[in-house]
Amino acid sequence: MSLDTADAERHTLKMQKRKAVQDAEVASKTIEKGLIMVHTGAGKGKSTAAFGLILRALGHGWKIGVVQFIKGAWDTGEQRALAVAFPDHVTWRAMGEGFTWETQDKARDMAAAAAAWAEAQALMADPAYRLIVLDEINIALRYDYLDLAAVLAALAAKRPDLTVVLTGRNAKPELIDVADLVTEMTLVKHPFKAGVKAQAGIEF
């Protein structure tokens, strides 16, 4: 693609103006604190983005806790990679027992959610951790397997420098209210619909 001189000059002027706006914008943001982040929606990428955040935090030497509310002790790529590469920096608690249609036992699902929440509270109370991922906790909240008020109270009482990421579809409005950052992963197109199966390296 070619570029004439007038076009190049117009571009430079436009970008100089834009830089002034951007710089003022950046300068106006001065608060530093741990965040409450929510990844919700029906699309793919809610847990995966939390795992990407773990990778980023590891590069800064943070210690990280993960509590999985639905997934049990499955062999996933992300868990294996972290166990091999960062055994001292990541505490991974897969406390779930699988999907509700696998356990077919509500009392057991509720007990698993309570145990996972106890683990989450212990990790959040430990000042060694800077990032806690509560994976699929929104599912447990949605089915009332967990008490929303207890979760909100724990988030309100967290150390200011602790970041907590809560994932899962159908996030409760009260959780969205208290969150600093909320992303909805929206499903535009999914390969399952075209007959593609869940595959190692992509889905788990």
Binders of a second copy among residues 45 to 64 (CB under 8 A) are: 45, 47-60, 62
Footprint of a second copy on 102-121 (CB under 8 A): 102-107, 110
Task: Pick from 125, 128, 150, 196 the residue near a second copy by CB under 8 A.
Answer: 196
Task: Pick from 24, 149, 157, 197 the residue near a second copy by CB under 8 A.
Answer: 197
Do strands 131-135 and 90-94 pair parallel, antiparallel, or not at all (unpaired)? unpaired
Stretch that binds a second copy, among 115-123, 134-142, 152-160, 174-182 (CB under 8 A): 174-182
3-state secondary structure of 108: helix
Residue 73 binding a second copy, by CB under 8 A: no
Footprint of a second copy on 20-49 (CB under 8 A): 22, 26, 28-33, 35, 38-41, 43-45, 47-49
> What token pair was written down for 119?
């683990």
Residue 186 binding a second copy, by CB under 8 A: yes
17 touches 44 (CB < 8 A): no
33: CB partners within 8 A, 6+ apart: 160, 161
DSSP letters for 92-105: EEE---S-HHHH--
What is the total residue count of the chain?
204
